[in-house]
Structure 1
């Protein structure tokens, strides 16, 4: 199998990179999406607000990457969530629960001491391509 990496232009709704990485890497029928931050695709700046507002922007950013492959969040097999404060766990879960129409993917949620660009939340995922 061949590994293929993808980067996307701003007009796709995918925010600019904040480091040396690919937005997504495809290997066979699996798509690995790099951790998305709560950054605006148009400005590249982090959105204001609490963990719920930031999670909503992260969702939009994940959806923009998935859209490039004609996928939705329901293609997610495994999701990793990083929270800058585990005190935000319940508020984040309340928002996250509405993201999926089908069965929930597997998930790991990690509390950290800090995230890039001062974010409160970052999420990466692995999706299946059928």
Structure 2
């Protein structure tokens, strides 16, 4: 199911919640409007997710979402990153660093989780941003 050409949330929650000048973005993944997950391939009987591809898709989606609400990536204040495998951390971190600088980027916490909602989904971000 899609909302305005975007993948609908998998549960009963909004994709974005605005409070004052803060934008709270619910977990954002590389799930596409057709419910597939970008960067996923099946190799033999194994489903494998590419953390670099998924991180890029997520950050592109996040930037578009923030711009819809009068903000942008530069206004991100706090990011919580969820990875299903910490071996993916270097690929995730490399793509992340292309979008955020250490001096001006958001605070960040990265956690390993057992699984994410869709097979092959290996990265999810939860974000708080300002709306100037």
Whether TM exceeds 0.5 here: the answer is: yes
Gap regions ≥5 residues in structure 2: 41-49
- For 1:117, what is the secondary structure of its paired residue? coil
Q: CA deviation at 1:44?
A: 2.5
How well do the aligned residues superpose, as a CA RMSD in angstroms?
1.7
Return the TM-score normalized by structure 2. 0.83
Q: CA deviation at 1:39?
A: 1.1
Return the TM-score normalized by structure 1. 0.84
Counterpart among 7, 15, 25 of residue 17 in structure 2: 25
Name the counterpart of 1:57: 57
Gap regions ≥5 residues in structure 1: 1-7
Whole-angstrom distance in 1 between the partners of 2:31 and 2:60: 10
Whose strand fraction is larger, Structure 1's or Structure 2's? 2
Q: String of CA shifts for 1:16-61, please: whole Å, max 9, x gaps.
A: 22221101111111110001011123x2321134100111111122
Name the counterpart of 2:105: 104
